[in-house]
Amino acid sequence: MNEHSIDRRPNCTHNSNPGVNKKSGLDRFFEAHGDNASLGGVRHQGDCRMDVIDQLGSLKEGKLSRRKFTTSLMAAGIGVMTTPLATRKATAAAADQGTFFTWGGYDIPELFVPYKEKHGELPNFAIFGGAEEALTKMLGGYVVDVSHPCNAGIPRWIASGLFQPIDTSRLSNWADVMPELYDLKGNIVDGRPYLAPFDWGQTSITYRTDMFEVEGEESWDMLWDERYKGRLGSLASGGDAWWCGAIKAGVPLTEIDTPDAFEKIAAVMRAQRPLIRLYTDDTTTLEQALASGELIAAMTWNSSATLLQADGVPVRFAKPKEGALTWVCGLMIHKDAPNLDLAYDIIDSLLSVESGKFMISDYGYGHSNIKAFDAFDDETLQGLGLSKTPADILAGGHFQIPQSQQWETKMNTLFEEIKSGF
C-alpha cells in the first residue's frame, strides 16, 4: 500500500452472504445524508462504524477521494450503490469554478492539487458513462469547460465543431508532455492540437487467480469460458467491448469497419451474452463484484487490477496472447467554454507531475508527463504493465483506430441489441 492508502480497521467483521440485507443505524445515517450507501448484511463494531462515518465526512470535505472511500467500504464488507457521488456535486456546482466532464474515478482531489492550491477548491465535475454519451449530450446543447475523450473519437469530436484548438503556451506542463501521445491521427490541425493527452493504458481481463483456472496461456477466450457462465463481467460501452470482441474474433482493427467484420464480431458477442452476469461502465461495481467473488473475471482497464491488488484481492491483469486493446485519452476545451482560464488550469493540473505520479501508482495507468515516471524504477513500471516509452506498450497491443460517425452509430445500435438479447 502507498501513501494514499487508507488504514484498515482489523475489528470490522461482516457476513459475506449477499442475500442478507439488514438495516442499521449506519444505513439510516447514509440514507439521511443522501449518499446512496446501504449495508449488505454487515455487523459493525463501534470503532469500525466511527471509522466509516469519519471517512464519509472526509469525502464530503474533499479530503478523501470517492475511490478511496469505496475501497475502504469494500474492506469493511459494505456495498455502495453505483450512483456516482460526483453527479450530485455537479448539480450544486460552484459558479466560480470550471467544469470537468469526465469518466467516473477522475473526479478526485488527488488529480487537482495544483488547481486547488491556486483556486482554493476543486473544479466542478460532471460524469459520463462513455465518450459517445458525452458527445451526444454536448451536441444537444450541454456546455462544459473541459471534456475527456479518447483517441478513437478525436476526428469525430473535432468535426462536431464543438471544440477549440489548445493554446499550448498557456500550459506550464506542456514541455514535458510526450510528443508521441499528442501526435495522433487527426489531432493536429494547422499546427495546433485539439486534444491534450492525459492518460493511456489497456483494456484487458482482470481475473481472480484463486478462482479462475487458466488453461494454457491467458487469452480473450477467458471471457467466453462456459465453465464460468454467470460469473463473468464486461464493460458496457461498445467503445471497449466491441473492439475487444474484434480481437477475439480475429478481425484486424484496420478492417473493423467492413460488413464481414460486423458479422464476425456480432457472432462472438452474441455467443458471449449468456455468459455475462454484468455489463457496466461503473468500474467500482466491477471491482466490488470481483472482490466479493460474485465475478471471477471481467473486462476492465488497468486501474481495476491495480486497486484490487492494493487491497489484497488476489487478481491479475491478463496479458492475452492475442494482445490487449490499447488507447490514449485526453482533454478537449469546448468552443463556448464559460471559464476559459479555468479550463486551462484544469488541464494543467491534470498534466502535472503530481497527477502523473498518482495515476501511475494508484491507478496503474500511464501518464503523458515524462517527468512523472522519474519516481518509478523500470521493475515497478514493468510490474504495472507500463514503460517510459509508451509507444512500446501501445504498439504491443491493438491500438484503437478512429472510425466514422456512421460506423459508431451502427456499432453502438447493434451492440445494445445484443446486450438486450436480440
Q: What is the pLDDT of residues 48-105, one digit of tens each?
A: 333 433 444 444 444 444 444 444 444 444 444 333 333 333 445 677 999 999 998 8
Mean pLDDT of 402-407: 92
> Would you call 144 helix, strand, or coil by DSSP?
coil
Closest Cα to residue 358, out of 375, 383, 378? 375
Q: What is the pLDDT of residues 195-240, one digit of tens each?
A: 999 999 999 999 999 999 999 999 999 999 999 999 999 999 999 9
Number of helices (H) and strands (E), helices first, in the chain?
17, 18
Place of cell 475501497: 71
Q: Give the burial class of 89: count Cβ atoms within 10 A of its Cβ; 0-12 exposed, 13-18 middle, 19 or more buried.
A: buried
CA distances (Å), 105 to each of 145, 213, 391, in order?
Answer: 18, 30, 25
CA distance 304 to 295: 13
Residue 33 has pLDDT above 80, yes or no: no
The mean per-residue pLDDT over the stretch 287-312 comes to: 96
Residue 254: other Cβ atoms inside 10 A: 10
**Domains (range + CATH), the chain:** 13-80 (no CATH), 85-200+327-399 (3.40.190.10), 202-325+403-419 (3.40.190.10)
CA distance 143 to 140: 9
Q: Which of 10, 6, 57 is closest to 30 using CA atoms? A: 57
Question: Are the C-beta atoms of 72 and 52 separated by less than 8 Å?
Answer: yes
